[in-house]
Amino acid sequence: MCCQKVAEAEAMVSGGIQDVFISNEVVAPSKITRMVALAAQGARVSVVVDALQPLEQLAVTAQQWGTSIDVLVEINAGQDRCGVDTPGQAARLAEHISRLSSQLNGSVNFKGIQAYHGGLQHVRDPQQRAAAVQRVVAKAAAAVDAINKKAGLKCQLVTGGGSGTYRLEAASGVFNEVQPGSFAFGDADYARNLQLGGQQGEWQQSLWVLTQVMSVSAARACAVVDAGLKAVSLDSGPPVLLETPNVAAGLVAPPPGSNSSSSCSSSGPSSSSSGNACGQLPAVSFEGVEFQNGGDEHGKLLWPQAIPQLPPQLPSLGTKLLLQPGHCDPTANMYDSIVAEREGTVVAVWPVAGRGPGL
């Protein structure tokens, strides 16, 4: 199970997941100790590195705890975040991992490489997306080759890819593990990706933010809801409203009669502890409605005014609505719990363990 921070790995292990991969660098000694403690408790733990100092700290700490950690070299796949920049650097770091393993009784074990490019997950055009992934595949292949020839080591794992590109990495002949995750929830940004057949989106949306109308202005063709910056992430664009239930690029509710589960994060005053947590679809047209940021606690729903003399029919005060987040990851990170709903009935409330900053 991929995690991006130690707190998430701790939550997974606490929940019964015994194989966790922290697909991010861990450098603080206190975090390294917490990560090693998971392995000492019996979990299989792996992590990526791109520098010697945290690697050596990890090796010594794991030896002190009498356990071992699997280590992958992170490759800069083109996003220019973390990762080594050249195949030669990858080979030297892999060789150092192997040397430390011999010196410190297998406290760290070289397992392979990670070549993940997050930005490519949101390239809209499928052909452009495929071409960009081929460049990542070439970088990964070059690193694998250098590690084999220069360090004499085999990469058991070549991991990367996400919800927008995983099929491409899986079919590359180089990657043998992929890391899709956002597909489980979905968001408005992923729904804008075009598929080879020309359709938008790939999965049915399951994550919704429950909000409530708190003010209405017919003069401004506007309804204000209680979901602002504290309720939805806007880094990938605002949440949107579905014009019709079968359009993957917006809101209002899961398709009527759907047998699949959906989940709603409740935004403050709109929370519901029983019954229909997600509310009923009001008899109002949401065609062309846009969400606009209104501040920390406010979101503005703006209706188009094509015919000014005919004000739109607006939702009444207290109407509950569902927002499809623009970006599911940071939105889910804002909430203490997720309400799981099936066909209008709450079936579970899941605590969001491991949420918060990168600890």
CA gap 30, 358 in Å, rounded: 13
What percentage of residues in the chain have a pLDDT greater than 90?
A: 74
On the question of pLDDT at 252 being above 60, the answer is no
3-class secondary-structure state, position 211: strand
CA gap 19, 2 in Å, rounded: 9
The answer to whether 20 touches 1, Cβ cutoff 8 Å, is yes
**Which range has the worst mean pLDDT, 12-26, 172-186, 246-260, 315-329?**
246-260
pLDDT tens column, 149-204: 999 999 999 999 999 999 999 999 999 999 999 999 999 999 999 998 888 988 88
CA gap 244, 251 in Å, rounded: 8
User: Stretch 140-145: mean pLDDT, rounded?
Assistant: 98
CA gap 47, 73 in Å, rounded: 9
CA gap 164, 123 in Å, rounded: 8
* Reported pTM: 0.87
Please determine, looking at this structure, whether the domain spanning 2-180 carries the CATH number 3.20.20.10. Answer: yes
User: Stretch 304-333: mean pLDDT, rounded?
Assistant: 83
pLDDT tens column, 79-125: 999 999 999 999 999 999 999 999 999 999 999 999 999 999 999 99
In degrees, to the nearest 5, what angle opens at C-alpha 34 toward C-alphas 33 and 38?
Answer: 115
CA 45 to chain centre: 20
Please determine, looking at this structure, whether the domain spanning 207-351 carries the CATH number 2.40.37.20. Answer: yes
| Average of per-residue pLDDT values in the chain | 88
Return the domain boundaries, the chain.
2-180, 207-351
**Which range has the worst mean pLDDT, 64-68, 274-278, 299-303?**
274-278
On the question of pLDDT at 268 being above 50, the answer is no
Closest alpha carbon to 144 in 98, 83, 91: 91
Closest alpha carbon to 56 in 29, 31, 35: 29
The answer to whether 209 touches 327, Cβ cutoff 8 Å, is no
User: Stretch 319-337: mean pLDDT, rounded?
Assistant: 94
